């Protein structure tokens, strides 16, 4: 399920905007001119001489690092070479005491700025994110406004950005990996301060990125299928009349829920898969998206009104137009990022702080492992049939696989008739997980619950005085099981967001290394949802079942993530592609990945199912966070087994924003790896029959 997690303010910018984005609009002359720098090597050398003369050799290594970084971002409007040197000499902080004072003041000021910018942005998006009735055009305009988008540019213009970078230089991922293991917590916080001003993207481009991403986000949030209007070849409906599911999360979760439906669950699953294929191909009738005026047979892709077949207009590549718009918005920023000249590099090396090659190798290791075929054979045996492509979402390793969806819905609707009931119960949920009552109340006092328009998401706060937001779907009858399951997942995010903001030692160390780490805790919470409902699993093979469930989830989402990465690589190689070309290539890539890693297991080729994820459209290159999160989740589960859940989670998630592999070593004693889950899967296969 999708989660709009905002661990840093620049990620917040990426999830903003409105629908009036023109992806063919060229850079303005002003934006083009801002790419040029005027400080030559001679001026840099002269500045270093002046700094050494005034401050001596004690900090020479530091300003030898920071001054060239300033020079790369200094522009004509900032002043000439003389002004550059004067600024560096006047603003370099030479003593540890003065540097600590500067750091403290900056931390306080950035918490104020980030905190209130985040609050303003969140409040302006309420009509878009929450089910508050009809969306008005003005709502999308306000949703596209990002007050933070001007901050970095303003702070370079008034020299604050240069003052920060001069005294807190930027360190690359390679440097952090080599040096960081010997840094103190304060040194890490200093390095995180230097991350803020490593690039100088014009605010106009940030706004356009916001416009493109919010347009895609709104498109996905409003993409619902009325399941009661789907018919089979005999014109029979299989789903309740009132059921409305968002793509892809709702469709996928309904498909999962039907593994326990012995009556017509398989027929429902096949129908859902036909819906998905039509969405991917964009052959879906435009008139069935978020509308219930017609009956649609997704298998034959035929539309009916009053029992008569009618012609229809397909969706017309809107899905891929949104993806292209985001690509062009991201690509426009490339010239303004000297250390990360493509969005792919910014996503992996900068944001995730794991290289794309490193991530891809992890995924291929698991996808190619011999355990895949063995687990697939186990699933096929449990189902009593050959595997279908949609069995990548097999849900039978969870305890709820044997509990009907009706029973689960009845339990959650009774317990949570409205979102307020769930919010009131949050402290008790934490107590059930082992937290002391006072700590549970303290954590939950920083979290508020809302009814979501979309599938659900969690939004963290950026200042200690604000609250994190938990959003999930709540029907008019209350919170059904799907909404509850999502809510428990999002609650895991909120607990991480609260620990990693409220309980870290330095504000600049708030958060986690990347979104995979918050996904890991969300997964850990989510898999305990039945236990929290009072349906405890006493199965002695529980840990083995968890290993198999985690493994199969990794197998599914790693393939999806490979598709996502390969699509972005293709777009960079073909930047002028039209939506139709992109659609054709996305489907080809999805089939290629399927044929390589899934067809040998499922016995069926050329399936496009890996391209259904909505994240590919409105959350660029976010998908890798999920499988990495699953690996982290499993390693944390092994770490906390037999220990106090509450104590270990609090210890682990107050480490803050270290780089991923260092965080993992401190948390569980080992780097991110497929080996633990592969070993546990092999062990589980020897027990579970």
Res. 55: pLDDT tops 90? yes
136 φ/ψ angles, rounded to the nearest 5 degrees: -100, 155
What mean pLDDT do residues 260-265 have? 93
Residues 170, 195: contact at Cβ < 8 Å?
Answer: yes
Q: Is there a single domain that holds both residue 521 and residue 439?
A: yes
Closest CA to 90 of 55, 130, 131, 122: 55
Query: Which of 199-208, 418-427, 485-494 comes out lowest in average pLDDT?
Result: 199-208
Q: Is there a single domain that holds both residue 365 and residue 258?
A: no
With a CB cutoff of 8 Å and minimum separation 6, the contacts of 377 are: none
The predicted structure's pLDDT at residue 456: 78
Q: Is there a single domain that holds both residue 492 and residue 580?
A: no
The predicted structure's pLDDT at residue 342: 97
Closest CA to 479 of 469, 488, 492, 468: 488
Considering the entire predicted model, what is its pTM? 0.83
**Where is the domain boundary, 497, 532, 567?**
532
- Report residue 3's pLDDT band, with 50, 70 and 90 as the boundaries: very low
Task: Report the alpha-carbon distance of residue 238 to residue 388 in Å, rounded.
Answer: 19
Residues 658, 642: contact at Cβ < 8 Å?
Answer: no
What mean pLDDT do residues 671-687 have? 95
Site of tokens 């260092």: 662
> What is 27-69 written as a DSSP string?
PPHHHHHTT-----HHHHHHHHHHHHHHH-STTHHHHHHHHHH
pLDDT in tens, 320-356: 999 999 999 999 999 999 889 999 999 999 999 999 9
Please check whether residue 217 lies inside any domain of the structure.
no
Whether omega before 248 lies within 30 degrees of 0, making that bond cis, reads yes
303 φ/ψ angles, rounded to the nearest 5 degrees: -120, 140
Quote the domain boundaries for residue 574: 354-396+537-623+658-685
Q: Is there a single domain that holds both residue 528 and residue 556?
A: no
Please check whether residue 129 lies inside any domain of the structure.
yes
Task: Report the alpha-carbon distance of residue 380 to residue 375 in Å, rounded.
Answer: 9
The predicted structure's pLDDT at residue 404: 78
Please check whether residue 343 lies inside any domain of the structure.
no
- Report residue 143's pLDDT band, with 50, 70 and 90 as the boundaries: confident
Q: Strands 308-310 and 302-305: what pairing? A: antiparallel
Task: Report the alpha-carbon distance of residue 411 to residue 479 in Å, rounded.
Answer: 10
pLDDT in tens, 62-119: 999 999 999 999 999 999 999 999 999 999 999 999 999 999 999 999 999 999 999 9
Q: Is there a single domain that holds both residue 70 and residue 179?
A: yes
Task: Report the alpha-carbon distance of residue 171 to residue 379 in Å, rounded.
Answer: 47
pLDDT in tens, 5-50: 333 333 333 333 233 333 334 333 333 434 567 899 999 999 999 9
Report how far apart, in Å, the C-alpha atoms of 69 and of each of 374, 514, 617 are. 52, 25, 34
**Where is the domain boundary, 145, 180, 208?**
208
Q: Is there a single domain that holds both residue 157 and residue 116?
A: yes
Q: Is there a single domain that holds both residue 117 and residue 203?
A: yes
Residues 186, 47: contact at Cβ < 8 Å?
Answer: no
The predicted structure's pLDDT at residue 537: 66
Please check whether residue 110 lies inside any domain of the structure.
yes
Site of tokens 């849900």: 395
Please check whether residue 142 lies inside any domain of the structure.
yes
What mean pLDDT do residues 379-384 have? 97
Task: Report the alpha-carbon distance of residue 295 to residue 286 in Å, rounded.
Answer: 13
Task: Report the alpha-carbon distance of residue 27 to residue 16 in Å, rounded.
Answer: 20
Report how far apart, in Å, the C-alpha atoms of 60 and of each of 53, 55, 171, 270 are. 10, 8, 16, 67
Residues 459, 469: contact at Cβ < 8 Å?
Answer: yes
Q: Is there a single domain that holds both residue 256 and residue 301?
A: yes
The predicted structure's pLDDT at residue 427: 98
Please check whether residue 561 lies inside any domain of the structure.
yes
Percent pLDDT > 70 in the chain is 94
Bridge partners, 309 (sequence order): 304
The predicted structure's pLDDT at residue 204: 86
**Where is the domain boundary, 532, 550, 583?**
532
Task: Report the alpha-carbon distance of residue 40 to residue 81 in Å, rounded.
Answer: 8
Q: Is there a single domain that holds both residue 382 and residue 417?
A: no
Please check whether residue 146 lies inside any domain of the structure.
yes
Q: Is there a single domain that holds both residue 498 and residue 553?
A: no
Bridge partners, 334 (sequence order): none
With a CB cutoff of 8 Å and minimum separation 6, the contacts of 58 are: 94
Q: Is there a single domain that holds both residue 448 and residue 432?
A: yes
Residues 231, 55: contact at Cβ < 8 Å?
Answer: no
Q: Is there a single domain that holds both residue 373 and residue 431?
A: no
Q: Per the structure, how many domains does the chain have?
A: 4
Please check whether residue 646 lies inside any domain of the structure.
no
What mean pLDDT do residues 382-399 have? 93
**What is the layout of strands, in order, in the sheet containing 447-451?**
447-451, 468-472, 456-459
Which 8-state DSSP code applies to residue 259?
G
């Amino acid at each position: 399920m999708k989660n709009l997690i905002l661990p840093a303010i620049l990620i917040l910018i990426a999830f903003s905007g409105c629908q009036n984005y023109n992806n063919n609009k060229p850079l303005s002359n002003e934006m083009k001119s801002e790419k040029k720098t005027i400080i030559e090597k001679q001026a840099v050398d002269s500045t270093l001489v002046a700094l050494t003369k005034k401050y001596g050799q004690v900090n020479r290594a530091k300003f030898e690092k920071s001054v060239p970084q300033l020079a790369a971002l200094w522009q004509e409007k900032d002043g000439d070479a003389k002004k550059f040197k004067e600024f560096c000499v006047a603003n370099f902080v030479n003593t540890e005491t003065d540097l600590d004072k500067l750091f403290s003041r900056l931390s306080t000021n950035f918490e104020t700025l980030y905190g209130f910018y985040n609050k303003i942005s969140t409040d302006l998006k309420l009509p878009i994110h929450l089910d508050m009735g009809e969306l008005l055009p003005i709502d999308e305009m306000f949703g596209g406004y990002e007050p933070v988008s001007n901050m970095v540019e303003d702070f370079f213009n008034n020299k604050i950005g240069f003052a920060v970078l001069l005294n807190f230089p930027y360190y690359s991922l390679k440097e952090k990996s080599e040096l960081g293991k010997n840094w103190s917590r304060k040194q890490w916080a200093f390095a995180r301060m230097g991350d803020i001003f490593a690039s100088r993207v014009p605010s106009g481009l940030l706004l356009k990125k916001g416009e493109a991403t919010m347009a895609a986000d709104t498109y996905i949030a409003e993409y619902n299928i009325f399941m009661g209007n789907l018919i089979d070849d005999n014109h029979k409906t299989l789903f309740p009349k009132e059921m409305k599911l968002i793509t892809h999360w709702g469709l996928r979760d309904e498909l999962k829920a039907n593994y326990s439906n012995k009556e017509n669950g398989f027929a429902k699953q096949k129908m859902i898969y036909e819906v998905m294929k039509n969405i991917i191909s964009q052959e879906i009738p435009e008139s069935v998206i978020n509308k219930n005026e017609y009956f649609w047979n997704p298998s034959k892709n035929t539309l009916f009104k009053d029992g008569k077949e009618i012609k229809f207009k397909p969706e017309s590549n809107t899905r891929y137009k949104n993806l292209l718009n985001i690509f062009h918005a991201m690509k426009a920023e490339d010239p303004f990022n000297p250390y990360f000249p493509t969005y792919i590099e910014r996503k992996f090396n900068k944001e995730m702080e794991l290289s794309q090659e490193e991530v891809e190798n992890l995924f291929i290791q698991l996808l190619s492992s011999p355990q895949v075929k063995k687990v697939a054979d186990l699933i096929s045996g449990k189902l009593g049939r050959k595997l279908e492509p949609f069995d990548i979402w097999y849900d039978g390793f969870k305890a709820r696989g044997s509990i009907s969806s009706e029973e689960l819905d009845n339990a959650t609707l009774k317990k949570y008739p409205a979102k307020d009931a769930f919010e009131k119960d949050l402290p008790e949920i934490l107590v059930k997980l082992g937290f002391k009552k006072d700590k549970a109340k303290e954590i939950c006092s920083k979290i508020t619950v809302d009814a979501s328009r979309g599938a659900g998401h969690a939004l963290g706060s950026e200042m200690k005085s604000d609250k994190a937001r938990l959003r999930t779907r709540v029907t008019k009858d209350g919170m059904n099981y799907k909404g509850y399951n999502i809510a428990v997942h999002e609650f895991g995010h909120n607990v991480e967001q609260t620990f990693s903001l409220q309980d870290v030692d330095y504000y600049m160390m708030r958060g986690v290394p990347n979104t995979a780490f918050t996904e890991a805790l969300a997964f850990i919470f989510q898999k305990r949802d039945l236990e929290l409902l009072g349906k405890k699993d006493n199965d002695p093979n529980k840990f083995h079942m968890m290993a198999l469930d985690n493994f199969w989830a990794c197998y599914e989402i790693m393939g999806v993530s490979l598709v996502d990465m390969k699509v972005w690589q293709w777009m960079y190689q073909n930047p002028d592609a039209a939506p139709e070309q992109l659609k054709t290539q996305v489907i080809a890539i999805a089939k290629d990945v399927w044929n390589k890693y899934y067809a040998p297991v499922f016995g069926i080729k050329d399936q496009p199912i890996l391209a259904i994820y909505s994240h590919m459209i409105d959350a660029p290159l976010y998908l890798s966070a999920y499988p990495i999160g699953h690996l982290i989740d499993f390693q944390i589960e092994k770490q906390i087994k037999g220990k106090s859940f509450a104590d270990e989670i609090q210890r682990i998630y107050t480490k803050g924003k270290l780089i991923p592999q260092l965080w993992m070593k401190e948390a569980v004693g080992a780097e991110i790896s497929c080996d633990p889950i592969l070993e546990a899967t092999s062990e589980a296969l020897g027990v579970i029959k």
